[in-house]
Amino acid sequence: MVRVASTLLICIILNGCASHPRVGSQRMAEGDVEYGYAFSVENVFPYLWYR
């Protein structure tokens, strides 16, 4: 049972989706910069992003 549970846990971790920046509802103006960070259950470290 432990082997099945650990295999299932590994499969869930490896198949998790990556975090991404939030989806904007409006287009950014030329020259604007936006940055931040996101925490995700699937990632070990916080994900830093900019656009």
Q: In the prediction, which pLDDT does 1 show?
A: 85
Using the structure block, give the residue that is written with the tokens 């920046």: 21
Pairwise CA distance, residues 2 & 28, whole Å:
50
Q: Give, for 49, the enclosing helix (H) or strand (E).
A: strand 47-50
Pairwise CA distance, residues 10 & 33, whole Å:
37
Q: In the prediction, which pLDDT does 32 show?
A: 86
Using the structure block, give the residue that is written with the tokens 């950014």: 28
Using the structure block, give the residue that is written with the tokens 């990632």: 43
pLDDT in tens, 1-51: 889 999 988 877 766 556 566 677 788 788 888 777 766 666 666 666 666
Supply 46's token pair: 């916080």
Q: In the prediction, which pLDDT does 15 show?
A: 63
